[in-house]
Amino acid sequence: MKIVGIILIVWGFADLGLSWAGTDLYREIGIELSEGIYPFTHWIAMGIGYAIYSIGKSGDEEEV
């Protein structure tokens, strides 16, 4: 779970950096987003990634 969370966090940072450079990461892979959600996609990806990472981290602590 932690690896998936880290991948989503990195995806969010890549989305943020590429949007500053003028590249739409989601459109490049074929996903069309509405103009209302587009400015927040990096925050959404990083937030979901952090939540998944936290769930995976708490699951590791319970196993110990």
Amino acid at 29: I
Which pLDDT score is estimated for 61? 65
Contacts of 44 (CB under 8 A, 6+ apart): 12, 37
Residue 64 has pLDDT above 80, yes or no: no
Which pLDDT score is estimated for 37? 92
Query: How remote is the C-alpha of 33 from its chain's centroid?
Result: 15
For residues 5 and 50, the answer to whether their CB atoms sit within 8 Å is yes
pTM surpassing 0.85?
no
pLDDT in tens, 34-60: 889 989 999 999 999 999 999 988 877
For 56, phi and psi rounded to 5 degrees? -65, -35
